[in-house]
Amino acid sequence: MSNIKVLDKEFEPYISEQEIQIKITELAKQLNQEYAGKKPIFLSILNGSFLFTADLFRQITIEAEVCFIKLASYKGTTSSGNVITAIGLDANVSGRDIIILEDIIDTGKTLHHFLPQLESNQPSSIKIAVLLNKKEALAYPIKVDYACFDIPNKFVVGYGLDYDGLGRNTKEIYQLK
Ligand code: IMP
Ligand code: MG
């Protein structure tokens, strides 16, 4: 594996395709056991999570649904000053077991503002599964239930993650040099 250039920045190899796939297979096995008979809904947050979702979901062998949503934030008049709307949340999540799929949790801000909206639809449970968990960057009270990798607070691209829209289309993950 060699360095890649995305726009003005250089990135070096960080997590290999094989390491990613091993962790995803482990996570799929765990979810297949824990959610057997529950018919969970995998709620994938676009755009970054599409490759993670595809590779995980094809290894889910229990009865399950998948739904892709986009979170759009705009300045609202709530006390937090942030309103997050989910575009494409067409599944009826009421009474269902939800597993949110995110490429990366950084500050946790996005999910922190989205969770109340999801909870208002009264799912039976909500868990969060992420490919990458930037533990040190977490600034909101978000509980990550499943993380394939804990990573330091460094900017990464590849395998769905972008820098200014580019760099998503690699099988490996790269970190800023
Ligand atoms: P949060 O709301 O701060 O947790 O930010 C989460 C979102 O920020 C992710 O879904 C990504 O889209 C983006 N993000 C955070 N860190 C990185 C990174 O290192 N590379 C690419 N995107 C990132
Ligand atoms: Mg994302």
- Per-domain residue ranges for the chain? 17-151
Give which of 94, 97, 76, 98 is closest to 85, Cα–Cα: 76
Atom of ligand 1 nearest to the CA of 102: 10
Predicted confidence at residue 90, as pLDDT, reads: 79
CA 107 – ligand 1 centroid, Å = 8
Ligand 1 binding residues, C-beta < 6 A? 48, 102-110, 155-157, 161-162
Predicted confidence at residue 74, as pLDDT, reads: 64
pLDDT value at 26 more than 80: yes
**What is the third-level CATH fold of 17-151?**
Rossmann fold (3.40.50)
pLDDT value at 75 more than 70: no
Q: How far apart are CA 113 and CA 115, in angstroms?
A: 6
* Both structure tokens of 24: 């995803």
Mean pLDDT across the stretch 140-158? 97
Question: 8 catalytic, yes or no?
Answer: no
* Both structure tokens of 16: 């290999």
The residue whose C-alpha atom lies closest to atom 19 belonging to ligand 1 is 155
Single pTM value for the model: 0.95
